Amino acid sequence: MKVQELKHAGLKKWVEDAVALMSPDSVEVCNGSQAEYDRMIQITIDNGLATPLNPQKLPGCVLFRSDPSDVARVENRTYIASEQESDAGPTNNWINPDELKKTMTELYRGSMKGRTMYVIPFSMGPVGSEIAKIGVEITDSPYVVANMHIMTRVGTKVLDVLGTDGYYVPCFHSVGKPLGTGEKDSGKWPCAPLDKKYISHFPDTREIWSYGSGYGGNALLGKKCLALRIASVLARDEGWLAEHMLILKISNPQGEVKYITGAFPSACGKTNLAMLIPKLPGWKVETVGDDIAWMKFGKDGRLYAINPEAGFFGVAPGTNRESNLNAMETIKKNTIYTNVALTEDKDVWWELIGHDAPGKLIDWNGNEWIQDKNNKDQKPAAHPNSRFTGPAKQCPAIANEWEDPAGVPISAFLFGGRRPKTIPLVNQAKSWVHGVFMGSIVGSEVTAAALDVKAGTIRRDPFAMLPFCGYHMGDYFKHWIDIGKKAEADGKGDKLPKIFFVNWFRKNDKGFIWPGYGENSRVLAWIFERCDSKGKFVDTPIGILPTPDAISRPDGVSEADMQELLKVEIEGWKAEIADVRQNHYPKFGGKLPKELAVELDAIEKRLNT
Ligand code: GTP
Ligand code: SPV
Ligand code: MN
């Protein structure tokens, strides 16, 4: 479709202005069709950026290898450019919005020379549903167009909902690599150098400007940029929640159903938990979403969650038929792979895929790679943040109601992170505010999901939202406190989800103590019972823990292991709390809600008596 055919005058003008600034060779409005998707893929194949995979093994699948400087989100190039610096808060990078727009306007000037500009109308959430939000992304990357087709709902049907004057979030994206006359990408992933990359959000005007990166959350602007950073601001203003959470449906052997959401930092197990196949007989888990939840109160006082996305942008390494069969089944066809390794017969391979590398591979850098199991220092063949983009509807475990615009009623919130020590397998909050306290102090070993933070060290990642909150984190904590207060004031406090902290990642000298994955169903079963105030428990200084026999033991986990997993480690907790008091909470200054300061004093007191 041509720009001239756009019926929305504001949108048409916005696109025309962008064309004048970015000087693409041509412009196309995306219709969202299969033919369009196929054409995008063909363009990237012709450019040498994509490799078609073996049609017998992986029909409709392709592999991309990105630039080594462009393999993950770039947190220190991500900006919350609110009018007031104080609104961005201590955990976000801030630049004055006028100044940032000036800088970026110069970067965008002529940035699409030699390329086609694609205009992508997309809906986060089912098209036309009341809860959905519409965005329009302008991009010069056919890779982004193809990914957006899978991750969001794209095309003419979205324009129909927009009509002649509907509201949309305007999103600019350019890879920042204009082409000279006759120049082609010729196999070289286009992007700008790190110090020219900008992932910018203007929360006051609700705009997103991204420049210089073509990868994941930096470039697929519906996901972290719109559905979390901008949506968190809308949620604060409108009294709902936009969270970095999976959504799962769980049924017990009696067929009773509950819905649970979980916030774990990037690469800490959301996709895996959302698709879990229970090891506990008779239990069933189905997937509603694997990364983002938008939640609003229903008339009955319960919180209802929708998944605003339409696909999974999941971590490849560690995914195998044992750990996540549903993901492996989802990504057998119509899937985009990025930065995994390629086998000689055009199949994919990654670390812990479940079998040894079959012969000679091409690694994510495009070099020959032969597995050497004697060399512990061998560089991985797949990048640790290599990913698959697969359609959610292909997931064998997708819940029937996953696209229900009314959402699903949530019984429990889980928080968690990678904590090798101290933090028990599961711990229930004593109250809403205690649960908010737990969320506010989430810490996790850093993973490869962001480029510029050192993997392996523990950092605080409150609510798993550190890189995704579009405003002051202290105000965000207050928003959570207020959600609880509002429910109490409405006499609906008992309808609020119960809050739990889980940790699948406790280690001893032999490695992970808890086998994780499907075995996590044993913990979910206890959580399920606790939502109905059942299940065996002990009230401890740190929270409500299962008794050692309350959770059935998987093979290989001894009674002693179980005791260790569920022990209250007073000294470790004192250190944890001291760290919160000295290094974490002071960051929020006067914006730290007093309820959380009270909660901190209270847990400290309980640990000391
Ligand atoms: P993002 O997409 O970055 O938000 O990540 P995520 O939270 O969805 O994480 P994901 O489920 O993709 O898991 C990331 C890594 O953690 C993968 O390598 C998994 O194999 C591993 N993992 C997931 N669940 C478990 C678990 O229960 N135990 C252990 N030991 N590892 C796990
Ligand atoms: C994450 O890092 O939390 C992701 C991947 O889900 S990305 O879309 O790149 O943000
Ligand atoms: Mn994520």
Question: Which tens digit of pLDDT belongs to each residue from 549-559?
Answer: 999 999 999 99
pLDDT at 131: 83
Proximal ligand: closest to the CA of 339: 2
Question: pLDDT tens across 244-284, in order?
Answer: 999 999 999 999 999 999 999 999 999 999 999 999 999 99
Instruction: Indicate which residue's Cα is closest to atom 4 of ligand 2.
Output: 266
Q: Is the CB of 313 under 6 A from ligand 2?
A: yes
For residue 320, pLDDT beyond 80 = yes
d(C-alpha 289, C-alpha 308), whole Å: 8
The 3-state secondary structure of 39-81 reads HHHHHHHHCCCEEECCCCCCCCCEEECCCCCCCCECHHHEEEC
pLDDT band, very low/low/confident/very high, at 457 (cuts 50, 70, 90): confident
pLDDT at 448: 79
Residue range 3-48+77-238, CATH number:
3.40.449.10
For residue 538, pLDDT beyond 80 = yes
Cα 237 to chain centroid distance, Å, stands at 22
pLDDT at 456: 63
The number of C-alpha atoms within 13 Å of 156 and in the hemisphere containing its C-beta is 7
Pocket of ligand 1 (CB under 6 A): 264, 266-272, 290-291, 314-315, 317-319, 323, 449, 504-505, 512, 516-517, 520
pLDDT at 130: 81
d(C-alpha 323, C-alpha 354), whole Å: 9
Q: Which two tokens stand for residue 205?
A: 């005007």
For residue 454, pLDDT beyond 80 = no
Fold designation for 312-394: Phosphoenolpyruvate Carboxykinase; domain 2 (2.170.8)
What value does the mean pLDDT of the chain take?
97
Fold designation for 243-309+399-608: Phosphoenolpyruvate Carboxykinase; domain 3 (3.90.228)
Q: Is the CB of 449 under 6 A from ligand 2?
A: yes
Angle between helix 594-608 and helix 473-489 axes, rounded to 10 deg = 90
Query: Can you give the residue ranges of every domain in the chain?
Result: 3-48+77-238, 243-309+399-608, 312-394
Question: pLDDT tens across 423-445, in order?
Answer: 999 999 999 999 999 999 999 99
Best residue for ligand 2 mutational test, from 64, 71, 73 (most atoms within 8 Å of Cβ): 73
pLDDT at 458: 84
For residue 463, pLDDT beyond 80 = yes
Q: Which two tokens stand for residue 495?
A: 């309808």
Centroid of ligand 1 to alpha carbon of 517 (angstroms): 9
Cα 279 to chain centroid distance, Å, stands at 26
Q: Do domains 3-48+77-238 and 243-309+399-608 have the same CATH topology?
A: no
Centroid of ligand 2 to alpha carbon of 291 (angstroms): 8
pLDDT at 145: 98
Centroid of ligand 3 to alpha carbon of 514 (angstroms): 23
268: annotated active-site residue = yes
Q: Is the CB of 8 under 6 A from ligand 2?
A: no
For residue 447, pLDDT beyond 90 = no
pLDDT at 450: 75
Instruction: Indicate which residue's Cα is closest to atom 5 of ligand 2.
Output: 217
d(C-alpha 268, C-alpha 442), whole Å: 12
Question: pLDDT tens across 339-368, in order?
Answer: 999 999 999 999 999 999 999 999 999 999
The active-site residue, picked from 61, 171, 268, 395, is 268
For residue 449, pLDDT beyond 80 = no
Give the closest residue to 105 by CA, choosing from 240, 243, 198.
198
Residue-level length of the chain: 609
Q: Which two tokens stand for residue 377?
A: 């220092």
Angle at 218 between CA 504 and CA 163, to 5 degrees: 115
DSSP element (H, E) containing 499:
strand 498-502
DSSP element (H, E) containing 433:
helix 432-440
pLDDT at 455: 65
121 DSSP 8-state letter: E
Q: What is the pTM of this model?
A: 0.97
